[in-house]
Structure 1
Amino acid sequence: MNVKTIQFVRRGEVVSLDNVPPDRTLLEVLREDLSCTGTKEGCGEGDCGACTVVLGEAEGSSIKYRAINSCIRMAHSVHGLAVWTVEDIAQTDGALHPAQQAMVDCHGSQCGFCTPGFVMSLFGMYQNHTCKGQPIGRELAQEELSGNLCRCTGYRPILDAATRMGSLPPQKVDEKAVLKQLKQIAAPAGEGEYLSPISLKGLLAARAANPKAQIVAGCTDVGLWVTKMHMQFPQILDVTKVAELRKVEKYPHHIAIGAAVTLTDAYAALVADRPQLKTFSNRFAGLPVRNSGTLGGNVANGSPIGDSMPLLIALGANVVLMSVRGHREMPLEKLYLGYRKNVMAPDEVVAWIKVPKPVKNEQLRAYKISKRYDDDISAVCLVVNLQVEAGTVRKASIGVGGVAATPVRATQAEAALTGQPWTVRAAKVAAGALRTEFQPISDMRASAAYRSEVLGNLMQRFWLESQGVTQINLESFRLEEAA
């Protein structure tokens, strides 16, 4: 098979496409090569959801469905998967899928441009919830549609459509047939312009042999370099099919999250140990981005406004780097040298992120400040993790994003708190330390002065919440719908 060939299942057939460049996006292939023009290009950066499609992957005897943004997903990454577009979900006799029919019944489409993306997100919800007998309520619908934007502001009827799908005549995917077709597809090529190894040994060998290849996982950032910066990559190394790195391993004192674990699954593992992180995890971009992106990719990329790193720093996480020469482990904040610069050698890759389990008397809160509540990049991110025993702070661990060239640990604020009684005075001292410890920049998201002021305010908010005050945050706000 040609090393540039892509094979995936669509409409009950195995689709084969030859001579596809390594940096061609899935959206380009769908629209330009397969004429699937129902899939729209809106923002070209994974923000609006107009390009949403659903991927299906074999998971034992069933299929796991994920709604993703096709505009920033490399086409080769869907080799060996099933792909559904908005053209694919109606029945052969023309009868609409419940996701489509519900949108019609509830008048969920206005100008119509965003509608295909909403329909595909609804299709993903239908497969993951309705087909499993799980009802879709308004809160779940709002959570899972967070990655789809409607510029006509038609969200209420779209949310109505999400809750209505389950009341329509059921329509199920013939998973046995799809699984049979997926088995017909050969493993991805181990050489050439798009490398996609399936084992850790293969990944490390490929990295050693191709140190200049661009590493990708979900492409939620590299995809932007392609679509917005028009960068071209002659060779790409994809880690997402490495079996060993697709697992979350649980140990007595920590969990180890593989670098190829999606953000959706990685945050689910973190929330399982610390339920208070649920809202923060939902606000890490929209669901299609979390379904593609990986925790390892977020860490390796090292963006100063990436939300994972402040959290992991506050949790005391370590990162494990691997190469054919062996492995090394370090605190996550030690990975970074400067803006998007790290200590990794040319032959090394991020393999695992090790996150300690919660300890007794842990008080943890994660705060994200952004212009838009959902599906937006942070202006400031602050995560505070205190161990308070008998009214005294025995240990303080604070991670911060958006205030320096890298994600950082707030060492001065930590020192101001450690060993002190946990009082309003201690919180104010720590707030002052946070305001003076960093020299943030002014940019389109916030001014330097705003960022510094907000850091201190968030510490004061943490104090109030630690005392049981709940009405000061949006998590406690519930909008009562009119009858």
Structure 2
Amino acid sequence: MTRFILNQQSICTNQPPGLPLLDFIRYQQHLKGTKIGCREGDCGACTVLVGSLENGHVTYRSVTSCLMPLANAGGKHIVTVEGLNLPELSPVQKAIVEENGTQCGFCTVGFVVSLSGFCISEKAPTVQKAIAAMDGNICRCTGYKSLERAAGKLVTNLQEKSAENAMRWLVENNFLPAYFPEIPQRLESLQAEEAAETVGIPEEKVAYYIAGGTDLLVQKPETVQLSAVKVLTRETGLKGISSDVGQIIIGGGTTVEELRQSPEMQAAFPELHQYVKLVSSTQIRNMGTVAGNFANASPIGDLTICFLALNATVFIRKNEHLRELPLRELYLGYKQLAKDPDEIIEKIAFDIPDANTHFNFEKVSKRTHLDIASVNSAIRLKTELNVIYEAHFSAGGVGPVPKYLNKTSAFLLGKEIEPATLKEASEILQTEIAPISDARGSETYKRLLLRQLFFAHFLKLFPETITAENLL
């Protein structure tokens, strides 16, 4: 049984836990404002807001409902465009209309929901943040400049928003319907009801373990819907980021957005925001998990490539047994993992970078957001007096698995950072990869691309020593 609040309505349903939330909204509740588009999380036409009760306060995040398993709505407040409607146009809707931000209108509801989520955010409103809130919404006919102007108008309207009682201000100024302030109390009661129930199915009957579901509901939605599914997102033991004894420890169920917002991660990686904004879109980052990215085993998984370079260790649990494995040893072949289907990646750990540690991530794709890499790469180096004494280099899109380049990493040890070293290393890395020609580029192109990304790491990290001219 899944219990949640849909707009103002309390829902208690025994529909399959793996059913996409989009289908429940449209076909069970007949709320047709949430559109069916790509069913892959790309277009954003099915965007809804998900409100989670956190320390007595409800935090809202935008998600693509086509990739959200129904069970993940449990205990949450789900808001569709109908749940945002007022007797008159809201400031979000009005800004889009006044700036000619709609044409055919199919995608408009997704933009309305995403921008409404931006308005609810407790962060100081800026035009850059408003535009970023729409990075998971695609418009095929209107053009984005009109939507950007609408975002700018909204930011102006939000300058007077009260920081102390933002929800009341938003209701009084017609950004939100009047029922929103009641939601925290209703969710508290709902969660109390859930806690009194015995939820779950026997482990031996579980066919799929799902966290964010952002890949499974693309690859095999019908199979997941008809199977016995256990959702992991509500297991508190799989969440959270902490530091301990020189390491950062990340719960496997931590979302990519939670990773981006983590103070521990931001302190360790000052350019974290730049790296993570290349990972999918806001809606997907709000659902997709770190362990899910690893277990997906995509040869171009962005987080996987980053954590390979961080020389991370994964902790894998089955029942009460917990074992650890270097991430680089998790991948046996294309979509083949060194773990059983009923084992769960419980947490990930890696050493906290010190003053001598240098890290960089690079990705080349056809567009910035909502795209997978042609080739991506990460590097982690420890240096002293311009000499490398620890090196970890990884790459995606150049083989059947996310690739840790052992030979190249080993070659760099003890070497001085100079053009001759990098040129020789770039020849070694070519012996470790086996790219194929596909829609994202030819084999030759990918080999050249990785060579250039390898150089790009050093150009960025050591600009005093390495320049484009001395690499010619």
Give me the TM-score of the superposition, normalised by structure 2: 0.89
Amino acid at match of 2:314: V
Is 1:237 aligned to 2:243, yes or no?
no
Is the Cα contact below 8 Å between 2:208 and 2:224 reproduced in 1?
Answer: no
Structure 2 unaligned spans of 5+: 159-168
Q: Name which of 116, 127, 144 aligns with 2:133.
A: 144
Q: Distance in 2 between matches of 1:152 and 1:431?
A: 44
Name the CA shift for 1:243/1:162 in 2 (closer, same or farther; >3 Å).
same
Q: Distance in 2 between matches of 1:11 and 1:463?
A: 51
Residue of structure 2 in register with 1:291 after alignment: 286
- Match runs of 1:75-474 below 5 Å: 75-91=70-86, 94-129=87-122, 134-137=124-127, 139-152=128-141, 154-168=143-157, 170-172=169-171, 176-185=181-190, 186-187=193-194, 190=198, 206-207=202-203, 209-210=204-205, 212-227=206-221, 232-269=225-262, 270-468=265-463
User: 1:230 Cα shift?
Assistant: 6.1
Q: Distance in 2 between matches of 1:72 and 1:103?
A: 26
- Structure 1 segments, 4+ long, off by >3 Å, are 166-170, 172-176, 188-192, 229-233
Residue of structure 2 in register with 1:37 after alignment: 32
Amino acid at match of 1:108: G
Report the 3-state secondary structure (helix = DSSP H, G, I; strand = E; otherwise coil) of the residue aligned with 1:80: coil
User: 1:365 Cα shift?
Assistant: 1.2
Amino acid at match of 2:311: G
User: 1:424 Cα shift?
Assistant: 1.1
Is the Cα contact below 8 Å between 1:305 and 1:381 reproduced in 2?
Answer: yes
Q: Distance in 1 between matches of 2:428 and 2:416?
A: 17
User: 1:79 Cα shift?
Assistant: 1.4
Structure 1 unaligned spans of 5+: 196-205, 474-483
Residue of structure 1 in register with 2:5 after alignment: 9
How many residue pairs match? The answer is 445
Give me the TM-score of the superposition, normalised by structure 1: 0.87
User: 1:190 Cα shift?
Assistant: 4.7
Q: Deviations over 1:44-76 (max 9, x none)?
A: 100111110000010012111110000111112
Is the Cα contact below 8 Å between 1:28 and 1:71 reproduced in 2?
Answer: yes
Is the Cα contact below 8 Å between 2:240 and 2:251 reproduced in 1?
Answer: yes
Is the Cα contact below 8 Å between 1:302 and 1:406 reproduced in 2?
Answer: yes
Q: Distance in 2 between matches of 1:379 and 1:230?
A: 29
Q: Deviations over 1:173-221 (max 9, x none)?
A: 65551012112323276556xx5xxxxxxxxxx54x33x5201111100
Is 1:52 aligned to 2:47, yes or no?
yes
User: 1:386 Cα shift?
Assistant: 1.4
Q: Distance in 2 between matches of 1:81 and 1:420?
A: 54
Report the 3-state secondary structure (helix = DSSP H, G, I; strand = E; otherwise coil) of the residue aligned with 1:8: strand
Is the Cα contact below 8 Å between 1:99 and 1:119 reproduced in 2?
Answer: yes
User: 1:446 Cα shift?
Assistant: 1.7
Residue of structure 2 in register with 1:23 after alignment: 18
User: 1:438 Cα shift?
Assistant: 0.8
Q: Distance in 1 between matches of 2:342 and 2:81?
A: 41
Q: Distance in 2 between matches of 1:421 and 1:11?
A: 61
Is the Cα contact below 8 Å between 2:311 and 2:328 reproduced in 1?
Answer: no
Name the CA shift for 1:171/1:277 in 2 (closer, same or farther; >3 Å).
closer
User: 1:328 Cα shift?
Assistant: 0.9
